[in-house]
């Protein structure tokens, strides 16, 4: 049985799915789809902690599915911009997990992860990227063993 690690870039998924489809991403469908490929041995969802109740409820749903939720505080800069970037944390976790699994699944359209997926594949590990069509970097699609467009069942349209 193929061992799989899943890494979900919650902010990227939230904003890209909302921008293109005007709805939310269905993490339970992601879990089911990936589970058909093998057994999920590790799963992480990376989010920014704003401390509101709706967000905490969402994080509980992710935990019930089987994700380990990793939170970073929401930082408002003095110029009004916000910081909340998990790229380095995700990269470290993916590289650590690659030694233990046969396949890495990255749910993010962020092109900054192209080198990461190339590195994973150079170690003989499959690298699957889930991303929103049109908002997923071409470099990421090229770097992945398989690109899965986020559409259809992966969309939570009843909200």
Domain boundaries, position 135: 3-156
Report pLDDT for 77. 79
pLDDT at 47: 94
For the chain, what's the residue count? 159
Structural domains counted in the chain: 1
Cβ contact 113:13 at 8 Å? no
For residue 97, what is the domain's CATH number?
3.40.50.1010
Contact between 101 and 125 (Cβ < 8 Å): yes
Burial class of residue 79 (count of CB atoms within 10 Å of its CB; 0-12, 13-18, 19+): exposed
Tens digit of pLDDT at every position of the chain (159 positions): 999 999 999 999 999 999 999 999 999 999 999 999 999 999 999 998 888 899 999 999 999 999 999 999 887 778 877 666 899 999 999 999 999 999 999 999 999 999 999 999 999 999 999 999 999 999 999 999 999 999 999 999 865
Q: What is the pLDDT of residue 121?
A: 98
């Amino acid at each position: 049985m193929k061992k799989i690690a899943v890494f979900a870039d919650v902010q990227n998924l939230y904003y890209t799915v909302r921008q293109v489809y005007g709805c939310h991403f269905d993490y339970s469908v992601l879990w089911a789809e990936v589970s058909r490929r093998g057994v999920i041995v590790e799963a992480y969802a990376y989010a920014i902690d704003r401390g509101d109740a709706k967000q905490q409820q969402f994080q509980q749903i992710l935990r019930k599915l089987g994700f380990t939720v990793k939170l970073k505080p929401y930082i408002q800069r003095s110029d009004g911009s916000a910081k909340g970037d998990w790229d380095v944390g995700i990269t470290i976790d993916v590289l650590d997990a690659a030694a233990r699994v046969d396949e890495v699944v990255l749910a993010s359209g962020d092109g900054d992860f192209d080198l990461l997926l190339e590195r994973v594949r150079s170690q003989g590990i499959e690298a699957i990227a889930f991303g929103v069509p049109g908002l997923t970097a071409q470099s990421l699609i090229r770097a992945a063993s398989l690109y899965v467009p986020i559409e259809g069942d992966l969309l939570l349209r009843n909200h």
